Structure 1
Amino acid sequence: MDKVLFLYSTREGQTKKILKHIAEQLDNCECDFSDIHDMPDIDFSCYEKVLVGASIRYGHLHKKLYQFISQNYQALKNTKAAFVCVNLTARKENEGKDTPEGSVYIRTFLKKSQWQPPLIGVFAGALRYPRYRLFDKFMIQFIMKITGGETDISKEVEYTNWDKVKLFSDDFKKM
């Protein structure tokens, strides 16, 4: 049985939820999950594949993601490893914002990171107004107003395209 490691950097949990959905698509695999923010010490040789998932907040990936990549660059480079970016901009599928080529966040990631994953997924996340702190609630509402998104702060909206996640899962299996 293959072992697969899922590493995540998430704010409200949607990135981890997406990774768990991908794990459910894998046949005959033992899946381990670890929060990058805990800066885990990992023996990558125990795993057949690795999937790193991270979310965007205020236009940026968390700095701990870059620290983790820097500390584990050789292991990631020498392992079948892929990357997933979760953000609200990816809800604009008709504009191509849900593709590695159309995502400004992926372009920035690839410039800032020495790790250049061979497989990258970009998925829309979830808007969880009731879970946000007051400052975040109003800042995200402002951003959503500018970008034509949901502004009702009583709502939670999941924009994730689960069919697209399934297609990525199929590509990840083939790695």
Structure 2
Amino acid sequence: MKRALFLYSSREGQTKKILNYIKEGLCDFDCELVDLHSIDSIDMDQYDRVLIGASIRYGHLNKKLYQFIQNNIEQLSDNPKVAFFCVNLTARKEDQGKDTPEGSAYIQKFLQKSPWKPELIGVFAGALYYPRYGFFDKMMIKLIMTLTGGETDTSKEVEYTNWKKVSVFAQKFKEL
């Protein structure tokens, strides 16, 4: 059986949820999920595919992602079997192209900062979990959502992830 490694950097769990969804569609792969924050390096040659998913928080990817890339740049560079996706709330604006690598300011910033340039990149909308946030996060996210025309009712949980789009990405990943 083929092996796939799924590495994730997630604050609220939506990135991991997306990876679990992709895992369900990869029936002919034995998939291993690993929290990117728990490792520094890994032997990617053990895997037929590697997928790295990371979420945006207050406009930034976690610095641990960049450290991991730096520590593993030789394995990542020019490796066609490794893909990346980013989860953020701005990607909910599909009509504005914010859910594409070209239209995502976060992906463009990532590509400028990172020495790794993955061939396959996905951008997915995340989820709002207002009731689960502490006071500060709840108020900051509400302010951001007010400014960007999003949900501001702090009693709600809203999932913006386009699962059909995730399925299309999963198929491309499988075919790498």
1:64 is aligned to 64
User: After the TM superposition, which residues 121-140 of structure 1 pair with which residues of structure 2 at under 5 Å, given as runs?
Assistant: 121-140=122-141
Partner of 1:94: 95
Q: How does 1:7-156 map to 2 (within 5 A)?
A: 7-77=7-77, 79=79, 80-156=81-157
Asked if 1 retains the 8 angstrom alpha-carbon contact of 2:40 and 2:71, the reply is no
- TM-fit CA distance, 1:78: 5.2
Quote the Cα distance in structure 1 between the aligned partners of 2:174 and 2:47.
Answer: 14
Deviation at 1:131, TM superposition (A): 1.0
**Counterpart Cα distance in 1 of 2:21 and 2:158:** 18
* CA deviation map 1:20-43 (0-9, x unaligned): 111111131100011111124412
Deviations 1:70-117 (A, max 9, x none): 001111225410000000000000000000000000000000000000
SS at match of 2:106: helix
Secondary structure at the aligned position of 1:20 is classed as helix
| CA RMSD of superposed structures (Å) | 0.9
Q: Contact 1:34/1:40 (CA < 8 Å) preserved in 2?
A: no
Three-state SS of the structure 1 residue aligned to 2:124 is strand
Ranges in structure 1 where 5+ consecutive residues have no aligned partner? none
> TM (normalized to structure 1)?
0.98
Deviation at 1:48, TM superposition (A): 0.6
For 2:29, give the aligned amino acid: C
- Partners of 2:73 and 2:21 in 1: CA distance: 26
Task: Give every structure 1 segment of 4 or more consecutive aligned residues whose post-TM-superposition deviation is greater than 4 Å.
Answer: none
Q: Distance in 2 between matches of 1:73 and 1:133?
A: 36
User: 1: distance between equivalents of 2:53 and 2:119?
Assistant: 14
Give the 3-state SS of the residue equivalent to 1:8 in structure 2.
Answer: strand
Report the count of equivalent residues.
175
Q: Which runs of no fewer than 5 residues in structure 2 stay unpaired?
A: none
C-alpha distance in structure 1 between counterparts of 2:19 and 2:76, whole Å: 17
Assess if the C-alpha contact under 8 Å between 1:85 and 1:121 holds in 2. Answer: yes
What is the TM-score normalised by the length of structure 2? 0.97
8 A contact 1:82–1:120 mirrored in 2 = yes
Give aligned-pair identity as a percent.
64
Partner-residue secondary structure (3-state), 1:151? coil
